[in-house]
A and B are shown apart, each in its own frame.
Chain A
């Protein structure tokens, strides 16, 4: 039997069911791994070891009862998991990686958290992130950066960098992040694991701290497509507390692999992008050849407005952020300075200026400008119209192909500090992930090879609400590529 921290979620479920190990042993093994490696990786902002062990023991007690098998049928019963520190949890702090929310304990659980608890998951802790999910490297956390477990001198990607790093370092078998412009897919690619952004509206945003409400979507991260499907099944579906959740019924993901007969579109604009690193292109092309050998059909296509996606995304996301983050004013929650000033306006300014980091302030400033009198139509309004053009590109493409394949990111994980001084160059790294976000499409990243010894991610984009097709194809590609897992540079 492989060590408990090397097992898949599917194997852990089977092992718990067969009584090969207890939930306490499983949870303890992951807590020990966190103890061993997290001082190097810094994936976690908060670990609730005592609470997790208590819940694990309670689970084991239930299992021994005559009707314990009912509990076992729950999809995530007894599985230790971690959450990006953006989901409200009533028993753990929720900081969003911000000094402003340091120590904040919400009075309620996010819907996603409620569903995980109901599914029997053992929530072990909260993971690091770029402050308020604004960043692509996990360096913008007020509590220090997360390191890529495959090469500690590199970033894990962001903003869900802690969630991805924790899974890659085998501190946890699965986690949840959020993806506004690629914040699940890009860290999954950088850390050599699998990450999914479902269709906008598939997972409730209730209790998920808002960054850009028309784009934000929660998504799971895991070490295999099969595990990813298990994590998705537990949390998606309509929620009366989030009016933007879709009322469509969610299919049970059957976990079958399927490639034969599927037509995969290859957008020329991605392959011809000036920022695409040669090593990433080689890994991508080699993966495409394997997909074709395994029965997939490849078809070149155009998504002509791709080069407008970055400005469109950054104008819309910052505008929405400037409105969403107006709530942080030192009144209802969050930091208020010791000397807040003489009046209410001074207190607002002092709380926000001392609480927000530089990148968050930069995005609030950009968004405030894009919404200000005289500029709103020229910036925000125009970006909303270009967003329609980008959506139309995908709608046309999906009349001809079943799925679209692109590299997830133009490069591999870059060095810590490399892009800190140049925000614009960091924004450009989102080039391949933001178009699907703007169109609200489901998209998944899975490892497809390596460059410079670091993983390269393959992005699969599907039409809206076609997660089942997406996961089946991903499983098929995963089997066809049959890559050895990437090993964390941490020992053990």
Chain B
């Protein structure tokens, strides 16, 4: 894999919704590149024909009868929110 660049770090941060201080970008780049280089041992492993593990016990699909059940009261769900109004979560504008 090619070496991670500053633009890669900026792109990852954007995808992760994280704001990194401009002065910290090179530090992040070096650190992530070092960790990924240490993980590159996986590249040399022959995994052809090996199925991926997505679940260790594979319990099958968990199903239940499609019947309504009680849910949490609206007020208790809204209580921990930073901002709410008229029974909804309130956020800054989405469209300008």
Contacts and interface: CB of A to CB of B under 8 A. Distances in A.
- The dominant DSSP class at the B interface is loop
Nearest to B57: A201
A: contact size bracket:
35 or more
Contacts of A347: 91-92
Contacts of B59: 201, 243-247
B43 to A, nearest CB: 8
Interface residues of A, dominant DSSP:
helix
Interface string B8-34: 110111011111100000001001101
A349 B19 CA distance: 6
Contacts of A423: 31, 35
B12 A365 contact: yes
A359 to B, nearest CB: 11
Contact of A331 (B42, B64, B73, B91): B91
B32 A388 contact: no
Contacts, number: 168
B53 A391 contact: yes
B85 interface: no
Contacts of A345: 17
A424 B59 CA distance: 34
B35 A372 contact: no
Nearest to B78: A332
Interface stretch (A163-171, A333-341, A445-453): A333-341
Interface string A245-285: 11100000000000000000000000000000000000000
Contacts of A349: 17-19
Given A384-B53, A385-B52, A387-B52, A330 B82 contact: yes
B32 A365 contact: yes
Given A201-B57, A385-B47, A343 B96 contact: yes
Contacts of A336: 82-83
Interface residues of B, number: 53
A146 B8 CA distance: 36
Nearest to B96: A343
Given A107-B72, A315-B42, A343-B93, A200 B47 contact: no
A51 to B, nearest CB: 19
A235 to B, nearest CB: 18
B57 A246 contact: yes
Nearest to B28: A365
Interface string B61-92: 11010000000110011011111000001011
Interface string A342-368: 111111111011001000011011101
B45 A382 contact: yes
Contacts of B96: 343
A269 B90 CA distance: 54
10 nearest A-B pairs in the assembled complex, by CB-CB distance: A243-B62, A440-B56, A384-B52, A336-B82, A311-B39, A107-B76, A385-B47, A333-B80, A387-B53, A353-B19
Given A243-B61, A331-B81, A372-B15, 19 more contacts: A201-B57, A214-B54, A246-B59, A311-B38, A311-B42, A333-B81, A334-B82, A336-B82, A344-B94, A349-B17, A350-B19, A352-B18, A365-B13, A365-B32, A378-B1, A385-B50, A386-B42, A423-B31, A464-B56
